[in-house]
Structure 1
Amino acid sequence: MRAQLTLQIEVRFSDAARSANQLLRLTPRAFDGLHVLDWFVGVEPVATLRRGEDGFGNIVHSCSHAGPLDKILITAEGLVETQDAAGVTRGLHEKQPLDVFLRHHESPGDIAAYAAQALDGETDRLTGLHRLMAALHEKLRFAPADVPPRPAAEVFAAGEGSARELAQVFVAAARAEEIPARFVSGLRLDGGEGAPIHAWAEAYVDGLGWIGFDSALGFCPRDAHLRLGHGVDFFSAAPRRGAFFGYADEKVETRLAISSARQASWQIQQ
């Protein structure tokens, strides 16, 4: 898929903020299934954007604003070409060893038992992960929302969650089975149901590498999934992290405009 897109994140303050700091993961990194032809990130009011990499190899921009601030507008736009690689992520620079993505950040509780039941002794890891994705997709209702996720155990008990929350449940379930797994943030280019900023999980399979699993939609990421970054959880991969000084509340609105032309590019995991 070749897509020209514009993502805007508008942050409004109920009372003027004295200052604000922003950390943005809004620039996709190229790999075998993604070519970035043009990309730009900007902020208003205008501020100096400092580009770098975080500990996972994601491209990040940071900036500071002096107040008073009524709102901040963040824009990321560009031209990309994506290919359907059946979720396989190859050619991406990796900065962390696999055991980093085995660490449990929360006790999975009932999630571990459910994962064991879903895999039911399956010895082929790829087959087992597909079974786990299908089981979670059937059990947990996709309830789109653009808010920070709840803990995975709480989402599992509630029986529904946002794409971010369902991704964290999958990560917890895979790690409970000693499978390295990580959280991925990105965008959906097909205009489907849900918030413009999407999320899914990736798990490691020997011989194939990292493979994406989108339990919110019930299938592996396709060419309509634009990958922005990954981390051990949502907070280490969030497209935007912000802090402001003052007594105001913030309201965030996200808008995504896409012009695309689909190309046939179907592949299988092999």
Structure 2
Amino acid sequence: MRLSVRHSTLYQFEAPMRFVTQSHRLTPAPNASQKVLDWTVSAEGATFGASFTDGAGDRITTMTLQGPVERITVVVEGTVETGRGDGILRGHREIVSPLVYLEGTQATQPTRAILGLRDLALRGAGGPLDRAHRLAAAVGDAIAYTPGATSAQTTAAEALDLGKGVCQDHAHALIAVAIAADLPARYVTGYLFTDDGAEASHAWAELHVADLGWIGFDPANRCCPDERYIRLGSGRDAREAAPIRGISRGGGAEALDVTVVVAQQ
């Protein structure tokens, strides 16, 4: 499948900033299931530093903009050829040990409810792959997809207690129960093509299964990533895996508007 992406992020500042520095995870790294045909990241007036690949195999680029800065629009445009991979991440170069991802964060800390969901899901389970599938299915059952029910600060435990959330909550909850089951797990950001254009910007989790490696699970859609998915970057949670992280110098409030369109060519 050949997918085109246009991803626009507009920042507007109540008072002009003296300068803005951002770290971008906005360029997909190649793997066996995705080949980048063309890709650009731009922002008018900004200076982009040299790109590098971090230990997890993600492409990182820095961007700076000298003030006064009243607004910034970061525009991502590109085309990726994707293929089926049964959710298994093959051909992705990284040097970080999967054991690093057995440590949770504030967003994925286990609670009694999370441990209970783990125990329920794994009752009668077989090997590691079966355990991973059971955990993903249990999270999908426990958290109903409900846009607007949670915020960017909602933790896995809070979403589970609420019983509803969005893809971020599904990913955090799956990471939490997987780590509690001694399966390394991490958060993944990317894009998803759908016929109705919904959920173009998306998140899911990858669990590390012995003898197979990293496997993606999307509890929100009850599937493993396929040719509809473009993988951008990863981290232990949504904050670490964020496509854009930045620092601004100045006072006043900040408004954010994001538009993502993924189309099949």
Aligned-partner Cα distance in 2 for 1:144–1:87: 25
Q: Write out per-residue CA displacement over residues 209-235 of structure 1, whole angstroms, 9 at most, x where no aligned residue.
A: 111000111111121111001112222
Q: Which residue is 2:176 aligned to?
A: 172
Instruction: State the shift of 1:90 in Å.
Output: 0.6
Contact kept, 8 Å, 1:149 with 1:165, in 2: the verdict is no
Q: Which residue is 1:67 aligned to?
A: 67
Aligned-partner Cα distance in 2 for 1:160–1:257: 25
Q: Write out per-residue CA displacement over residues 2-53 of structure 1, whole angstroms, 9 at most, x where no aligned residue.
A: 0122211111112222211111100000101011111111112332333122
Contact kept, 8 Å, 2:197 with 2:262, in 1: the verdict is no
Instruction: State the shift of 1:189 in Å.
Output: 2.0
Letter in 2 for 1:88: I
**Structure 1 range deviating more: 48-57 or 86-95:** 48-57
Q: Which residue is 1:98 aligned to?
A: 98
Aligned-partner Cα distance in 1 for 2:151–2:200: 12
**Structure 1 range deviating more: 24-33 or 142-151:** 142-151
Aligned-partner Cα distance in 2 for 1:94–1:259: 29
Unaligned runs of 5+ in 2: none
Instruction: State the shift of 1:193 in Å.
Output: 6.6
Contact kept, 8 Å, 2:3 with 2:79, in 1: the verdict is yes
Contact kept, 8 Å, 2:48 with 2:61, in 1: the verdict is no
Q: Which residue is 1:9 aligned to?
A: 9
Letter in 2 for 1:66: Q
Structure 1 residues 231 and 188, CA, compared in 2 at 3 Å: closer, same or farther?
same
Contact kept, 8 Å, 1:184 with 1:199, in 2: the verdict is yes
Contact kept, 8 Å, 2:233 with 2:241, in 1: the verdict is yes
Give the aligned CA root-mean-square deviation in angstroms: 1.8
Structure 1 residues 82 and 135, CA, compared in 2 at 3 Å: closer, same or farther?
same
Alignment pair present for 1:260 and 2:264: yes
Aligned-partner Cα distance in 2 for 1:258–1:135: 29
Q: Which residue is 1:208 aligned to?
A: 212
Q: Percent identity?
A: 33
SS across alignment from 2:51: strand
**Structure 1 range deviating more: 50-59 or 92-101:** 50-59
Unaligned runs of 5+ in 1: 262-270
Contact kept, 8 Å, 1:140 with 1:160, in 2: the verdict is yes
Q: Write out per-residue CA displacement over residues 110-130 of structure 1, whole angstroms, 9 at most, x where no aligned residue.
A: 212211111114122212222
SS across alignment from 2:43: strand
Q: Which residue is 1:115 aligned to?
A: 118
Q: Which residue is 2:146 aligned to?
A: 143
Aligned-partner Cα distance in 2 for 1:257–1:194: 9
**Structure 1 range deviating more: 251-260 or 175-184:** 251-260
Instruction: State the shift of 1:192 in Å.
Output: 5.0
Aligned-partner Cα distance in 2 for 1:40–1:99: 33
**How many corresponding residue pairs?**
261
Contact kept, 8 Å, 1:23 with 1:63, in 2: the verdict is yes
TM value normalised by structure 1:
0.90
Aligned-partner Cα distance in 2 for 1:240–1:147: 17
TM value normalised by structure 2:
0.92
Contact kept, 8 Å, 2:11 with 2:256, in 1: the verdict is yes
Letter in 2 for 1:214: D
Match of 2:252 among 243, 248, 251: 248
Aligned-partner Cα distance in 2 for 1:164–1:16: 31
Aligned-partner Cα distance in 2 for 1:148–1:191: 26
Contact kept, 8 Å, 1:144 with 1:195, in 2: the verdict is no
Instruction: State the shift of 1:171 in Å.
Output: 0.5
Structure 1 residues 17 and 143, CA, compared in 2 at 3 Å: closer, same or farther?
farther
Q: Which residue is 1:82 aligned to?
A: 82
**Structure 1 range deviating more: 145-154 or 58-67:** 145-154
